[in-house]
Chains A and B, each alone.
Chain A
Amino acid sequence: MTTQRSIPHNNLKPNLIVIGNGMVGHHFLQQLVESGAAEQWQVTVFCEEPRPAYDRVHLSAWFNGSSADELAMGTPELYREWGISVRIGDKAVAIDRDQQQVTATRGEQLPYDRLVLATGSYPFVPPMPGHDRKHCLVYRTLDDLAQIRSAAEGASRGVVVGGGLLGLEAAKALHDLGLETHVVEFAPRLMAVQLDEDGGELLRRKISELGVQVHTGKATELIDDGEQHLHRMNFADGESLETDLILFSAGIRPQDELARTSGLEVGERGGIVIDSQCRTSDPNIYAIGECALWNGRIFGLVAPGYSMAKVAAAEINGEGAAFTGADMSTRLKLLGVDVGSIGDAQGHTPGALSYRYSDEAAQTYRRIVVSEDRKTLLGAVLVGDNSLYDTLLQYALNGIELPAQPESLILPQSDSTAPLLGPDALPAEAIICSCLNVSKGQICNAIDNGAMTVADVKEVTRAASGCGGCGALLKSVVDNELEKRGVEVCTDLCEHFAHTREELYHIVRIEGIRSFQELISKHGRGLGCEVCKPTVGSILASCWNELITKTEHIGLQDTNDTFMANMQKNGTYSVVPRVPGGEITPDKLIVIGQVAKKYNLYTKITGGQRVDLFGAQLHELPDIWQMLIDAGFETGHAYGKSLRTVKSCVGSTWCRFGVQDSAGMAVALENRYKGLRAPHKIKFAVSGCTRECAEAQSKDIGVIATENGWNLYVCGNGGMKPRHADLFATDLDDGSLVRYIDRILMFYIRTADRLQRTSVWMDNLEGGLNYLRDVVINDSLQLADELENQMQQVISTYQCEWKATLDDPEKLKRFRTFVNDDSNDPQIITIQQRSQPRPA
């Protein structure tokens, strides 16, 4: 073996250059890495924007407090890990196809063997006079959003030019910024591409009710000075509208400039012409996404772009693949209104027949377009209610034969004639998740390979990890497939209870059951086991908060809860006093040291900002705790499925960057929720600014200070399967923060499975994060008061379990190593290591 270090022969690999680092460009890189092809190529990416790829589909989330980081898809670290060089803020300015070179902004030339154009599109701005006035903006990039936000300051009215899908998204942004919002559309209706006249009209009525004023059939001829507002928009019909801010969102145009200047074939109305392998007129150059023109069509959605990315990556990797077009059906919520459009929504197919159902009371509209023979579904329009979308889409995509009365699909259900398409009726190739292109067949494969839950299937296939809209459909497919495989999805807690944890929780609450014996005699059988006893113990504690050391509860607990300490491998225990927020006085620190010294305990700082004392024998625990409690400590519940710690940074009291008192908030939260028992342990953290030193985004409940209050993150965790927390709500005041946490935690305690962390719990909630928001913020289940009251009950009955135990000689009797002898366990032997004891 040689010890000489070899220099990697990067220069021997062929060069692959990707121009553009949007969602599609990023997806292409991801495909390249996943297929292993990335290792065969020296990959260089040009990224014109000052930041790598981010989620443009959820751009409006930025106005609701999502940071640029949260929208990020590619990060410099990720690309480094992938071995891909990304030139952020660098634009490719020319392609020399003869020399096979790309010229960068500063004139540098890079050779390529293969080139991929993923340059995307730019917003079309109608060339009317005045379109370039101040505060006339577009809605496409994060930088655009920053400009919109600053223009909105001091503005009172905003107009969006364009009533299509993107225009209405932009209108929502203006509405959220607090502007009086108007939408001006040239066509006679909103979403002219996706909806028909009746659908467009209903959409207009609904969003007008939400305070967004819609003006259709308006052609803007001139923008000049206004009297009340900055601008006046003058329309062809002689009318005018004044506004302070104008957003153009009148469609997109392919960004094909580089292709034009380098002589690649482009379409008459723009777009780089590609074949089904995504190759341009130059076989060494590919184009994907919104810049590409396939069969005379530009695809302005992300899913077809992803498909092209996949095809191009496979091609470059030498595998055959073909882009065969894409379904442009869309389902979305615009300003809170459900809108769905499938296939030939307007019935352009010759001979097509339509069925319409309109409910003016409920403000819903449904239309289906069927073939002349009424056997296949060609298209559909849905406004106000998307619950039929999945079923209709599957009919349309898979050519499933329609029922004899196609109208039954959209008529209200009165009885059992439910035409909803069961998951069984879907063919294997049916696409369940169109964002990630996951078919029913792939889901079945995942299940055959051992996936047993929706969460498992999501992890393997990544289904429902795009827009998440297919969540409910995915669940029904998974449940159905499991059932078909004879996997009885048995939700019984164990052989002693034919109930789920959630059901038992409700039984305990509603019947006011206070002990395991009462519960098992009324609703179970046998004596119980290591599964149901701790579960019921936890439920009883969550509901009634009696001391877990009460005689009738003792036998229910795992040893850690029984003895209120954490058993270690040699049978000794570790002791963790509570240090709220990680804030501790010197005097208390000294006492911890004295206790450790007196009982010869190994001492270690924990990740939760406290001190763990290891090696105490059972009979030593009461004496140790007497010392700790005399010094003002309380139990830390390190042994319980309960609130552990609230980690914090020092925050604004010391740190020059802090914007709120994070340590103070952490102490308050820890004191509020200490002792709360839950299906699993719960960890919190509070950071005083976005630098996030407390690592709040890896916690079940994470709080990050903002200039205006607190951002709340939920359902993260570290451990074996780390998961970042999701942003739940932004800029909360102290009161709202606490109210939301009360509700989230109690809802978790009420509905989670045993030993289910908050992350898995949320992933298994149908509707996930949005559903949780609905329950907690919008009170959709009308539970908020109840949840808060239940939390208040737990908080007001808190007592330190160790203090209560020390006050009761009868309870102390259990803390004996031997009931008939005062000696230590002679087999517990320690040796010294790094000046401290450890088990021999």
Chain B
Amino acid sequence: MNSPINASTTQWTTLCQQSDLVPHSGVAALHNSEQIALFYLPGETDQIFAVSNYDPVAKANVIARSLMGDIEGRLMIASPLYKQRYDLQSGECLDAEELRLKRWEVRLREGVVEVGGTC
């Protein structure tokens, strides 16, 4: 699910600590002057997702402040300003198919959140 496309070539950089994440919610982090929204779903296997913090509809950096949930089994977030919903796995907008959030590879390692390349 969050597995890198090609694990051997991915460059992983430390983004923040696991303790910076908020369960069932999002935070924003800066990565090479790009803004990344990190969503955290704790569970038997913790899941973490990294998408662009830029809301293409609102044209503002607010995606990290979305509400997190699922719709027909797909993990999704709902933007805080105009409430568009995005599939967390694919970045696709569920309310406007031409919209898509940029995604990054991301993983948790020993309490550290690491980010890879875009996917």
Contact = CB atoms under 8 A, between A and B. Distances in A.
Interface of A: 495-496, 526-530, 532-534, 551, 554-555, 557-560, 562-563, 567, 569-571, 813-814, 816-821, 823, 825, 827-828
Given A530-B85, A813-B20, A571 B69 contact: no
Nearest to A555: B24
A533 B25 CA distance: 12
Given A526-B73, A555-B68, A567-B80, A816 B61 contact: no
Nearest to A814: B22
Contact of B70 (A527, A559, A567, A571): A527
A549 B106 CA distance: 27
Contact of A529 (B15, B21, B58, B71): B71
B20 A570 contact: no
Contact of B65 (A529, A551, A567): A567
Contact of A820 (B30, B67, B71, B72): B30
Contacts of B108: none
Given A532-B69, A562-B65, A563-B65, 5 more contacts: A554-B23, A558-B67, A559-B80, A819-B29, A820-B15
A527 B35 contact: no
User: What does DSSP make chain A's interface, helix, strand, loop or mixed?
Assistant: loop
B7 interface: no
Please give me the 7 A-B residue pairs with the lowest Cβ-Cβ distance, nearest first.
A555-B24, A530-B78, A559-B80, A529-B69, A571-B60, A819-B20, A527-B70
A527 B61 contact: no
Contact of B69 (A530, A551, A567): A530
B70 to A, nearest CB: 4
Contacts of A527: 24, 41, 68-70, 75
B67 A555 contact: yes
A819 B16 contact: yes
Interface of B: 15-16, 20-25, 27-30, 35, 38, 41, 58, 60-62, 65-73, 75-76, 78, 80-81, 83, 85
Contacts of B20: 813, 819-820
Nearest to A825: B61
A555 B16 contact: no
Nearest to A573: B65
A825 B59 CA distance: 13
Contact of B27 (A529, A567, A816): A816
A449 B12 CA distance: 58
Contacts of A813: 20
B24 to A, nearest CB: 3
A532 B27 CA distance: 21
A819 B28 contact: yes
A823 B35 CA distance: 12
Most buried by A among B25, B67, B72: B67
Contact of B25 (A529, A554, A819): A554
B61 A571 contact: yes
B65 A526 contact: no
A495 B72 contact: yes
Q: Of residues A526, A530, A570, A816, which shows the largest number of chain B Cβ atoms within 10 Å of its Cβ? A: A530
10 contacts: A527-B41, A527-B70, A529-B76, A555-B22, A559-B80, A560-B80, A567-B62, A819-B38, A825-B35, A825-B61
Nearest to B62: A571
Given A569-B81, A820-B15, A533 B67 contact: yes
Contacts of A557: 67
A534 B69 CA distance: 11
Contacts of B61: 571, 825, 827-828
Given A555-B23, A558-B80, A570-B60, A818 B67 contact: no
Given A554-B25, A558-B80, A818 B35 contact: yes
A828 B58 CA distance: 13
Contacts of A529: 67, 69-71, 76, 78
Contacts of A530: 67, 69, 78, 83, 85
Given A528-B69, A558-B80, A818 B75 contact: no
Given A529-B78, A569-B60, A819 B71 contact: no
Contacts of B30: 818, 820-821, 823
B39 to A, nearest CB: 10
A817 B65 CA distance: 10
Nearest to B70: A527
A341 to B, nearest CB: 54
Contacts of B16: 819-820
A528 B25 contact: no
Given A495-B72, A526-B70, A555-B68, A818 B80 contact: no
A526 B71 CA distance: 8
A560 B65 CA distance: 9
A527 B78 CA distance: 13
Nearest to A530: B78
Contact of A554 (B24, B62, B78): B24
Contacts of B28: 817-819
B4 to A, nearest CB: 21
Contacts of B29: 818-821
Nearest to B68: A555
Contacts of A558: 67, 80
Contacts of A823: 30
